[in-house]
Amino acid sequence: MQRSEISKQEAKILFRDNTYKIMSKKEKNIDQLEKKIKTELDNFTRELETVKNLIELDKIRTKYIGKKSFLIKTLKNIGDLPDDIKPIAGKKSNTARNKIESDILKKEKIFKNIEYKNKLRKESIDLSLPGRSTGTGRKNIISQVVEEIEEIFIGMGFEIAEGPEVETDYYNFEALNTPRDHPARSLHDTFFISENILLRTHTSPVQIRYMESHKPPLLIIVPGKVYRRDYDVSHTPMFTQIEGLVIDKGINFGNLKWTLETFAHEIFGKDRKVRFRPHYFPFTEPSAEVDVSCNICGGKGCRVCSGSGWLEILGAGMVDPNLYSFVGYNPEEVSGFAFGMGIERICMLRYGIDDLRLFFENDLRFINQF
Amino acid sequence: MKVTLNWIGEFLSAERLEPENIASALTMSGTEVKKVEYMGDKYKDIVIGRVVDFSPHPDSDKLSLCEVDIGSSKLSIVCGAKNFKKEDRVAVALPGAKVKDITIRKNKIRGQISEGMMCSEMELGLSSESEGIMILDNSCEVGDSFSKSVGLDDVVLELEITPNRPDCLSVIGIAREISALIGAELITGEYDFQKRLNIDSKFKIEIDDYNLCPRYSAKLFRNIPNIQSPQWLKNRLILCDVRPIDLIVDLTNYVMLETGQPLHAFDKDMLYSNKIIVRRAGKGENIKTIDDSIRILDDDALVIADEDKAVAIAGIMGGKDTKISENTKNVLLESANFYGPSIMRTSKKIGLRSEASNRFEKKIDPMLTVFAIGKFEDLLEKVANFKTEECIYDNFKKVERERKINLRVGKVGQVLGKDIDAGLISGILTNLKISNRIKDNSIEATVPSFRYEDLEREIDLVEEVARIYGYDRLDSIPTSTRDRRGKYSLYQKTIKDIRQALCDIGLVEVINYSFISAESLKKFKINLEDGYKNNVEILNPINEDFKLLRPMLLPALMKNIKDNINHNIKDIGIFEISKVFKKNSSGKLPFEINMLGVMLTGKAAQKGWDEKERAFDFYDLKGILEFICKRYYPYGSLRIKERQYRFFHPRTSGIVNIEDLDVGIIGKIHPVIIEETETGQDAYYMELDMDKFINNIKETQKYKFVPAFPSIDIDLAIVVDNKIKSEDIVNEIKENGTELLKKIRLFDIYRGEQIEKDKKSMAYSLSFRDDTRTLKDIEIEIIINRILESLGKKFNARIRE
């Protein structure tokens, strides 16, 4: 507060010193002020021309519109002026100050640009240096494909069911229409834990388990490990399957075709042809094997498709009505279809892998390729 | 199974069978054609030649120079064989021909021009070994194509016959399918057996159990001609992968391939008497089979016996003593029907599968037995001009072999999603030799004997209609998705997210077999406490490495890092999410637990232009554990409880505890195991029970206010004895920190010059906050003093100056 009072005092002295003699008349007073302001502006403009950097610019800012500058003092003490002069003096001073301010800002922008340029020029780095490493993890190819297939079927309204890998003979064979002494059992070379307990040879037992505990409508897929007693280039004692089951009123073979065509197009591409061939499975009737056209030869026949132009991808069929008797459904009321595929086979076809055993050797040079 | 098109053609009225069309029609009706082999192409540029003259090679003792007439010209050929003479007909491979995948060229052999090659049976792919070149019958026309002259100008179809179609395990069966597919007439020939059945009783057949042997037919052939099978017959067998042996055996095989009925020929004179008994084997009864091995049988096996001993294992293999030899004069031909499941059991038990057992297993038609004998007779007459007036002995139990099935026309449409006209359905069945008539909206069908086992129900006929009609002609119909929402369960989603998260932070996912060897468990001292008894054991493992179901993932991941280190990949972070197995009480399924295993070894960071090299240590692994925990559990839920495991370093070994539940183990692999497994570098491992981990997650979390007032952060460095654990200090700080203390973070540990030996400085950042007001400095000062006082009392801690 004190400081500002002192300023008022100073202003009075200023007016006294420079203008007292001519303050008797209003016009003269204004004329005097205008002259002074003009002189200030002229001086400012001249000095601004010579300014070379931001520091010098700051100096003339202080000089012309700083607290102690003529213009600011005038504006500050305008209240002390006679009433008739006040408005004109205020207006003139403000205009002058604004002009100075904007000129300085313009100049400042130019200097700042130059300064940035100079500063940034010094900050260059070698963009070709390698970045700091982050993780290079990889999901196993089998998981990748399983998840991809799961998402396709989830999109079609399916849920995902799971079941035990060690099964009873009942769920793995018996309830799937494959009693003891059934010739189809010889297709599944089985690992046994005891006479009635075995490693499941397919994911199909989950069909029965799920039907036992759920009522139609149901749409499920069942991913999981399965086991068969076989070990060579094209057989491993463990591999991965995805099973599917759809049961509802009025489900027919046409629905099976649509679902599996849609799936095959999603996983192998819309341009691939899909065909359904009659086949035999003990727990479906009619049964089918599903092929997609060979992508290597475009269907003309080559080594990969052993000349047929087609690649087998899955087995499927209408659920055999006998199965419904095991789970208490009425075959005249509901119907459905089931399908199953080997994941490693899908991977092999997609990526051209020729040795099934690679999937379980866990050579990082293999896994990291996908 | 292989069949040839010419052979099939003998049973069809069709003019010409187009191989590609036939193959495609069969495949699309359920008999998958795996391969079509054009034999004519295989023998392209191999012609019949006549040896005009030959002389020794001037520069070799072993080679001869031959002049061979091939009709259009005479060729000079250098030959290494000696078994030919002038005028012999031989198979000549001309330049350009392919023999055993090698293309024949005109070239010089030791200075002499050779314009082709005279081939041996082995080179022609007709036998696995041969001496000298193949000498052909003089009736072969010089210059003719070799394949045409010897009946090899044929097309071989390799078929996959599904187990429900034993009727298709024969040339006639396939011809029958083709006749239904292309509308050609099936011609199988007529036989009038009745008048020749059992007209005398010179020979007796006794069947102990008709359930195991529903029918046994036989016939005597006396004074059989002692000749070789003609080349065309041998060739057909060869094309179907059957090795020619002698005339009688070749004929039994030929008839089996043609009709599907396995035949067996006994040397009649080696049988004890004029009686054949079909009975169960005695326990431990043994028999020497024709492959010279002694087979020990149990009382479940069925044998063919004379009054002295077993002479064949029924349906599987004949006995050595009664087998056909070059001295055989009289033959007893067996054409029998055995119960499939019994044959399958025995063949599995003694580990012997044959073409015959493969057919019996699948239950073949008992009506075939006398038909096949008829075919054999015909053939014998054809190739050896041999006729006999002997009768056929036939013993059987009369069984129903016809079945009536009512097929609703509407059912066909319902199952297939497309209505098919009754007339069309009826036509398809008729073509399949299933007699039927349309009545109202149904079709009354009568299944013939050869399809009796496979067509039992309405749905079976629907399938027959569908496969002949063609799956490709059925519509593709979108499934309605009413009431259905597909999604992952919370459990499944969490597993998927954890898998993704682990990959994102740099781990690689492995998948190992569920099997483990007992030796491996011992090496890792897993389940040592209960004497390794608690494992799930496989009764019939592939080998010892696959003997048990693994109770832990550890050994497999250990092997993974070792294998990769051997490939010079030494810095490894891997994980696996798989089931482990624990024994349950007898008769029950084992426990299956979904486990996550994580293994780190080697360097956490490589030396880089701006980074220091650093090896993985325990805290990298614990960091991963905390990273997973933080996603699902509140701050402070995780604790590591010290606990020693035999496979872990005794000082770096603990239990993972989350919200007072033990969910896994964590530690550094014991140096002894590193050494024994020859891994060569430290490794850190944890295994988490995913079932416990996920099921313990609280499902919903309530929203908490975003703090409106600032926190006050205080850094506190204290000096304590080296042995004091951070966890204890943190607990003590928490104890005295009041509810205003929201977070504690250790940010520095210092040991060194500035403090006493055996002591360390622990620096914590403490964050205080009140959700309703701004805290005053003085409040916090009081709390800090209280904390310092209690740390001083409890751990003799002092503030670090």
Per-residue pLDDT tens over the stretch B316-331: 999 999 999 989 999 9
**HSE value, Cβ hemisphere, 13 Å, CA-based, for B767:** 11
Burial of residue A121 (CB within 10 Å: 0-12, 13-18, 19+) is exposed
CA-CA distance, A251 to A29, in Å (whole number)?
104
Q: Which of B120, B112, B113, B64 is nearest to B92 (CA)?
A: B120
Amino acid making up residue B476: S
pLDDT of residue B150: 85
B475/A254 touch (CB, cutoff 8 Å), yes or no:
yes
Instruction: Name the class of domain B194-396.
Output: alpha beta
- Judge whether A234 and A174 are in contact, CB under 8 Å: no
Beta carbons of B30 and A139 less than 8 Å apart = no
CA distance B712 to B716: 13
Using an 8 Å Cβ cutoff, are B594 and B690 in contact? yes
Query: B613, B606 in Cβ contact below 8 A?
Result: yes
**Contact yes or no for B70/B92 (Cβ under 8 A):** yes
Instruction: Determine the length of chain A.
Output: 370
Q: What pLDDT score was predicted for residue A24? A: 47
Residues of A in contact with B483 (CB under 8 A): 217
pLDDT in tens, A103-116: 999 999 998 999 88
Give how far A185 is from chain B: nearest CA, Å. 10
Task: List pLDDT tens digits, range B50-78.
Answer: 999 888 888 888 888 999 999 888 988 99
Average the pLDDT over B249-256 and give the result.
96
Q: Does A160 touch chain B (CB under 8 A)?
A: yes
Q: Does A325 touch chain B (CB under 8 A)?
A: no
Q: Per-residue pLDDT averaged across A145-161, rounded?
A: 95
Chain A stretch 172-191, residues whose beta carbon is closer than 8 A to a beta carbon of chain B: 180-181, 183-184, 186-187, 191
pLDDT of residue A16: 53
Do the chains contact at A136 and B506, CB–CB below 8 Å? yes
Q: Which band of pLDDT confidence, cut at 50, 70 and 90, is reported for residue A21?
A: very low
How far is residue B652's CA from residue B644's CA, in Å, rounded to a whole number?
Answer: 8
Determine whether the interchain pair A285/B463 forms a contact, defined as Cβ–Cβ distance below 8 Å.
Answer: yes
List of residues 6+ apart from B606 with CB closer than 8 A: A133, B571, B613
Asked whether the beta carbons of B575 and B553 are under 8 A apart, the reply is no
Q: Provide CB contacts within 8 A for B195, sequence distance 6+.
A: none
Q: What is the pLDDT of residues B548-604, one digit of tens each?
A: 999 999 999 999 999 999 999 999 999 999 999 999 988 899 999 999 999 999 999
Q: Chain A: residue nearest B24 by CA? A: A308
- Residue A14, SS3? helix
- Residue B194 pLDDT grade (very low, low, confident, very high; cuts 50, 70, 90): low
**Positive or negative, the Cα torsion across A60, A61, A64, A66?**
negative
- CATH superfamily entry for domain B490-695: Bira Bifunctional Protein; Domain 2 (3.30.930.10)
- Provide the CATH number for the domain formed by B403-470 in this structure: 3.30.56.10
Question: How far A278 CA sits from the closest chain B CA (Å)?
Answer: 4
Q: Which of A134, A140, A363 lies at the smallest CB-CB distance from B563?
A: A363
Alpha helices in B260-367 (DSSP H): 340-349, 355-361
The sheet carrying B712-721 orders its strands as: B741-750, B759-768, B712-721, B798-799
- Cβ atoms B310, B319 nearer than 8 A: yes
**Distance of alpha carbon A65 from alpha carbon A58, whole angstroms:** 10
Average pLDDT over residues B419-438: 95
Q: Cα(B507)–Cα(A362) distance, rounded to whole angstroms?
A: 13
- Per-residue model confidence (pLDDT) at position A23: 45
Burial zone of A352 (CB within 10 Å; 0-12 exposed, 13-18 middle, 19+ buried): exposed
In the numeric block, which tokens belong to residue B658? 């989350």
**Which helix (DSSP H) or strand (DSSP E) does residue B521 occupy?**
helix B518-524
Question: What is the DSSP code (8-state) at residue B75?
Answer: E
For residue B532, the model assigns a pLDDT of 63
Instruction: Please state the rounded mean pLDDT for residues A173-178.
Output: 92
**Residue A4 confidence (pLDDT) above 60:** no
| Cis omega (within 30 of 0) for bond into A217 | yes
Select from A134, A192, A285 the Cβ nearest to the Cβ of B506: A134
Q: Give the mean pLDDT of B20-35.
A: 93
Select the residue of A137, A157, A192 nearest B505 (Cβ to Cβ): A137
Question: Do the Cβ atoms of B48 and B142 come closer than 8 Å?
Answer: yes
Contacts of B538 in chain A (CB under 8 A): 191-193, 199
Average pLDDT over residues A351-361: 90
- The verdict on a CB contact (< 8 Å) between A252 and B416 is yes
- How far is B724 from chain A, CA to nearest CA, in Å? 34
Residue-wise pLDDT tens digits, B445-490: 999 999 998 999 999 999 999 999 999 999 999 987 666 788 999 9
Phi/psi of residue A305, each to 5°?
-95, 15
Residues of chain B neighbouring A132 (CB-CB closer than 8 A): 608, 610-611
What backbone torsions phi and psi does residue B91 show, to the nearest 5 degrees? -90, 120
Q: Any chain B CB within 8 A of the CB of A90?
A: no
Any idea which of A241-245, A306-310, B231-235 has the lowest mean pLDDT?
A306-310
- Tell me where in chain B the CATH 3.30.56.10 domain(s) lie: 2-39+158-182, 403-470
Average pLDDT value over all residues in chain A? 87
Is the pLDDT confidence value at A27 over 80?
Answer: no
Identify which of B186, B198, B336, B195 has the alpha carbon closest to the alpha carbon of residue B256.
Answer: B336
CA–CA separation, B61 and B759 (whole Å): 96
Pairing of strands B275-280, B204-207: parallel
| Chain A residues close to B340, C-beta within 8 Å | 181, 183
* Residue-level pLDDT at A70: 84
Alpha-carbon gap: A121 to the closest alpha carbon of chain B (Å) = 23
- Chain A residue at shortest CA distance from B580: A165
Q: What is the mean pLDDT of residues B389-414?
A: 91
CA–CA gap between residue B339 and residue B211 (Å, rounded)? 7
Are B467 and A217 an interchain contact pair (Cβ–Cβ within 8 Å)? Answer: no
3-state SS of chain B: helix, strand, coil percent to 5?
A: 30, 30, 45
Cβ within 8 Å, pair B162-A279: yes
**Do the Cβ atoms of B594 and B529 come closer than 8 Å?**
no
Q: Is the CB of A127 inside 8 Å of chain B's CB atoms?
A: no
Residue A157 to residue B476, Cβ atoms within 8 A: no
A186–B165: do the CB atoms touch at under 8 Å?
A: no
Q: What is the mean pLDDT of residues B753-761?
A: 88
Task: Tell me what the mean pLDDT of segment A264-287 comes to.
Answer: 94
Candidate from B560, B574, B608 with C-beta closest to A132: B608
Judge: A367–B509 Cβ closer than 8 Å, yes or no: yes
The CATH 3.50.40.10 portion of chain B extends over 194-396
Please, are residues B125 and B100 in contact by the beta-carbon 8 Å criterion?
yes
End-to-end CA, chain B: 90
Distance CA B259, CA B558 (A): 57
For residue B142, pLDDT over 60 is answered with yes
Would you state the pLDDT for residue A8?
57
CATH code for the structural domain at B2-39+158-182: 3.30.56.10
Q: What is the pLDDT of residue A3?
A: 44
- Cβ neighbourhood burial of B224 (10 Å; 0-12, 13-18, 19+): buried
A181·B340 Cβ contact <8 A: yes
Q: What size, in residues, is chain B?
A: 801
Query: Could you give the CA distance from residue A24 to residue A57 in angstroms, rounded to a whole number?
Result: 39
Measuring CA to CA, which residue among B94, B123, B118 is closest to residue B106? B94
Neighbours of B101 (CB within 10 A): 5
Compare CB distances from B30 to A279, A320, A361 and report the shortest one's residue: A279
CA distance B791 to B785: 10
Nearest to B66 by CA among B5, A222, B75: B75
The shortest C-alpha distance from A305 to chain B (Å) reads: 10
Which tens digit of pLDDT belongs to each residue from B699-733? Answer: 766 777 788 899 999 999 999 999 999 999 999 99
Q: What is the pLDDT of residue A234?
A: 81
Hunting for tokens 């989830």 — which residue is that?
A154
List pLDDT tens digits, range A58-70: 998 998 888 888 8
Q: Calculate the CA dihedral of residues B262, B251, B92, B9 and round it to 10 degrees.
A: -70
Could you give the CA distance from residue A71 to residue A100 in angstroms, rounded to a whole number? 10
- CA–CA separation, B155 and B783 (whole Å): 96
**Mean pLDDT, residues B209-234:** 91
In whole numbers, what is the pLDDT of chain B averaged over residues? Answer: 91
Please check the confidence at residue B218 and state whether its pLDDT lies above 60. yes
CA distance A339 to A219: 12
pLDDT tens, position by position, A178-193: 988 887 777 678 999 9
- Interface with A, mutate which of B463, B591, B593 (most A CBs under 10 A): B463
Quick check: B82 pLDDT over 90? no
DSSP state of A59: H
A369 near B CB under 8 A: no
Which chain B residues contact residue A263 at CB under 8 A?
none
CATH classification code of B44-149: 2.40.50.140
Identify the structural domains of chain A with CATH numbers, from first to last: 2-121 (no CATH), 141-367 (3.30.930.10)
Contact B509 A275 (CB under 8 A): no
Q: How confident is the model at residue B698 (pLDDT cuts 50, 70, 90)?
A: confident
Q: Which CATH class is domain B712-799?
A: alpha beta
Is residue B188's pLDDT more than 90?
no
Q: Listing from the earlier edge strand, what are the strands of the sheet with B317-318?
A: B204-207, B275-280, B302-305, B310-313, B317-318
Q: How big is chain A by its Cα radius of gyration, in Å?
A: 45
How many A×B Cβ pairs under 8 Å?
255
Task: Name every residue whose Cβ is closer than 8 Å to that of residue B715 and which is 6 or more positions away in sequence.
Answer: B747, B763, B764, B765, B766
Contact residues for A126 (Cβ-Cβ < 8 A; gap 6+): none
